[in-house]
Amino acid sequence: MYGGIELGGTKIICAVGTGPAEVQAETRFPTTTPGEALTRMLAFFQPYRLAAIGIGSFGPISLHRDAPDYGSITTTPKPGWAHTDILGPIGRTLNVPVGFDTDVNAAALGEWRWGAGQGLNTFIYLTIGTGVGGGGISNGRLMHGLLHPEMGHIRLPRDQEIDPFVGLCPYHGDCLEGLASGPAMRARWGVSAESLPADHPAWQLEARYLALACVSFMCILSPQRIILGGGVMHQRHLFPLIQREVQTLLNGYIQAPTVLQDIDSYVVPPALGNQVGILGAFALAEQAALEQQALQQ
Amino acid sequence: MYGGIELGGTKIICAVGTGPAEVQAETRFPTTTPGEALTRMLAFFQPYRLAAIGIGSFGPISLHRDAPDYGSITTTPKPGWAHTDILGPIGRTLNVPVGFDTDVNAAALGEWRWGAGQGLNTFIYLTIGTGVGGGGISNGRLMHGLLHPEMGHIRLPRDQEIDPFVGLCPYHGDCLEGLASGPAMRARWGVSAESLPADHPAWQLEARYLALACVSFMCILSPQRIILGGGVMHQRHLFPLIQREVQTLLNGYIQAPTVLQDIDSYVVPPALGNQVGILGAFALAEQAALEQQALQQ
């Protein structure tokens, strides 16, 4: 049995289970202070005998295992949470191996284990909701490097005549997140994304920005698939718009049958739906348990 | 002793050697027809007893080892070269293991083995010359996926008032290659890049586009370093312009000391200089030889 924590900036979900077929207990509560959150997380898991715990966390976080702050949230603007050690207190108190990664890398790992990323070596998971974030698997391992990906902050072309909205990223204005997140849609159109009808021009514009992002992913990483999740992607009519726009933008340059003829199996929704976050945390837990087993042998 | 082939769209370089300290013999000739080129390559290597050969090729190429066309150039517009098997005739005739990859992945591997990528898990090598191409190492292995990276074709924001030039990529107009290659600079300014003085505004604009590309690389892959090579980057005054522009564009968002305080060791020239292509081919050969040894054990 694994424990999973989906540590978001606004809410926290904890669960125990083994995979999609078995999510035994679950609790959710708002992300208040680190002290209160840790107390509630530990109280939830204490009754269970767990093999490991996985944590998919909002970021930025420290992922270098030899860094003194490994397992911490680092420079977040969220009050009280900057430089908060998460992995340490949970691992010590519950005395189990802990897997720790970004929320989006956790989701990617969940899709790799049980969902739309199964059997792939290289793919990207992008979530479009309150913010825009991305993670993935490259050469069979979660994407880490200097830090971790921050895919929401790539810059995109914006035609000022078609879209005079200057974007709302506090750092970059009209980066991907600044142009295409749920709050950006609300700010641009004056109503929430969910309330816009499917034939509203908002969706074609949204599809254009997300397709431009997909094209950057494809040209830079050459992923075998792109999974698009998050609240905005609940609008399933976005998928065909994005798929067509990716083909238009590439203009035949990437000669792969899956892009040219089968793009609806290339740009896809998460197979795990709303469970992707917590199942990703289970997958991180499983990885941590396997790593500890390997070390003990 | 290894053989190396730098198979470019305009010229081919063949060499034998072991690494930077020893490049024994070298020949270069124009890329005419595949038949003529293969004959000259084979004639050059025939006298040597080689452990393996590495080929860094112009693309697109087939890199999936289980594909029937593995080791071929695929859909190139270069007359006579589409769907040309390269690896097959060389491996069969010379009867040695052959490593085969894109010219830019080969260069990245060379820098990893002997140059500016040593010891890194994840980095990017971008070349800016007649075209713009990129490769790299991700999680300790060359970047492969659906096909291979095509980094020159990401889309970038272009301010039409500052730069009315529409780009010259035949597929995408103003993608990175369309805006920032050597021929794009010549088309925009009417003279070759080399003849523009260091204080010409062309360089600030060029630095802006290359910095935008670096920002996309950083947000998507989180590389530990970005190596910029190719003819345009012989203009070393570009490096500080790009480094400053990367910092301006990121605006403090990526809180890593190497980006904030030490960016001249983050965005760097190739350590192997003009030898990067042929040394990369040696590194591919070495990898192929090691793989065969592992298979035989």
Q: How far does the CA of residue A28 sit from the closest CA of chain B (Å)?
A: 30
Distance CA B101, CA B87 (A): 10
The answer to whether the CB atoms of A222 and B251 lie below 8 A apart is: no
pTM value is: 0.97
Contacts of B104 in chain A (CB under 8 A): none
Does the pLDDT at position B81 exceed 90? yes
Distance CA B9, CA B190 (A): 24
**b/e string for A24-39 if b means 16 or more Cβ within 10 A?**
eeeeeeebeebeebbe
Chain A contact probe: residue of B124, B146, B251 with most A CBs at under 10 A: B146
Residue B90: CA atoms inside 13 Å, Cβ hemisphere, count? Answer: 29
Could you give the dihedral angle defined by the CA atoms of residues B293, B294, B296 and B297, in that order, rounded to the nearest 10 degrees? 120
When the pLDDT of each residue in chain B is averaged and rounded to a whole number, the result is: 96
Contacts of B156 in chain A (CB under 8 A): 155, 157
Amino acid A297: pLDDT: 85
Amino acid A51: pLDDT: 97
CB atoms within 10 A of CB A191: 12
Whether A209 and chain B come into contact, CB under 8 Å, resolves to no
Token reading at B171: 């597929």
Q: How far does the CA of residue B147 sit from the closest CA of chain A (Å)?
A: 6
Can you list the positions of beta strands (E) in A92-186? Answer: 98-102, 123-128, 132-138, 141-142
Contacts of A148 in chain B (CB under 8 A): 222
Determine the average pLDDT of the residues in B47-53.
Answer: 97
Alpha helices (runs of H) in A75-158, residue ranges in sequence order: 87-94, 103-114
Amino acid B168: pLDDT: 96
Distance CA B144, CA A135 (A): 17
Determine the average pLDDT of the residues in B209-214.
Answer: 98
The answer to whether the CB atoms of A255 and B60 lie below 8 A apart is: yes
Closest CA to B99 of B278, B289, B294: B289
Residue B119: CA atoms inside 13 Å, Cβ hemisphere, count? Answer: 1
Contact B282, B19 (CB under 8 A): yes
Show which of residues 96-115 on chain B sit within 8 Å of chain A, judged by CB atoms. none
Backbone angles phi, psi at B252, to 5 degrees: 80, 5
My answer on whether omega of the bond before A60 falls inside 30° of 0, hence cis, is yes
Residue carrying the six token digits 């994304």? A193
Distance CA B72, CA B83 (A): 6
Token reading at A22: 């078995």
Token reading at A21: 């077929």
Whether A149 and chain B come into contact, CB under 8 Å, resolves to yes
Amino acid B29: pLDDT: 98
DSSP characters for A146-187? SS---GGG-B----TTT------BTTTBSBHHHHHSHHHHHH
- Which value does ipTM take for this structure? 0.97
Note the pLDDT tens digit of each residue in B157-193. 999 999 999 999 999 999 999 999 999 999 999 999 9
Amino acid B77: pLDDT: 87
Contact A251, B171 (CB under 8 A): yes
Token reading at A80: 């009280």
**b/e string for B277-287 if b means 16 or more Cβ within 10 A?**
bbbbbbbbbbb
Distance CA B194, CA B202 (A): 11
Token reading at B162: 């500052």
CB atoms within 10 A of CB A151: 28
Distance CA B215, CA B193 (A): 23
pLDDT band at B297 (very low <50, low <70, confident <90, very high): confident
Question: How many beta-carbon pairs below 8 A join chains A and B?
Answer: 158
Instruction: Name the residue type at position A291.
Output: E
Distance CA A148, CA A136 (A): 10
Beta bridge pairs of residue A6: A13, A56
The percent of residues above 70 in pLDDT, for chain B, comes to 100
Measured CA to CA in angstroms, residue B34 lies from A146, B31, B47, B58, B86 at distances of: 41, 8, 21, 13, 9
The answer to whether the CB atoms of A156 and B153 lie below 8 A apart is: no
Contacts of B254 in chain A (CB under 8 A): 146-147, 150
Residue B137: CA atoms inside 13 Å, Cβ hemisphere, count? Answer: 26
Amino acid A77: pLDDT: 86
Residue carrying the six token digits 């989701």? A107
Distance CA A19, CA B147 (A): 32
Q: Can you give the C-alpha Rg of chain B in angstroms?
A: 19
Contact B149, A220 (CB under 8 A): yes
Q: Is B79 exposed, middle or buried (0-12, 13-18, 19+ CB in 10 A)?
A: exposed
Chain A contact probe: residue of B123, B155, B227, B266 with most A CBs at under 10 A: B155
Contacts of A255 in chain B (CB under 8 A): 60, 74-75, 147
Closest CA to B125 of B196, B192, B223: B223
Contact A146, B256 (CB under 8 A): yes
Closest CA to B17 of B293, B291, B280: B280
Count of positions (residues) in chain B: 297
Whether A173 and chain B come into contact, CB under 8 Å, resolves to no
Residues of chain A with pLDDT below 70 are: none
Could you give the dihedral angle defined by the CA atoms of residues A112, A116, A120 and A126, in that order, rounded to the nearest 10 degrees? -80
Residue B98, C-beta contacts closer than 8 angstroms, at least 6 positions apart: B52, B53, B54, B55, B71, B87, B90, B91, B285, B288
Show which of residues 259-278 on chain A sit within 8 Å of chain B, judged by CB atoms. 259
Note the pLDDT tens digit of each residue in B127-151. 999 999 999 999 999 999 999 999 9
Could you give the dihedral angle defined by the CA atoms of residues B252, A146, B152 and A179, in that order, rounded to the nearest 10 degrees? -40
User: Where does residue B80 fall: left (phi above 0), alpha (psi -120 to 50 degrees), or beta otherwise?
Assistant: left
Give the strand pairing for B2-7 and A72-73: unpaired
Determine the average pLDDT of the residues in B20-31.
Answer: 93
Amino acid A2: pLDDT: 98
Amino acid B90: pLDDT: 97
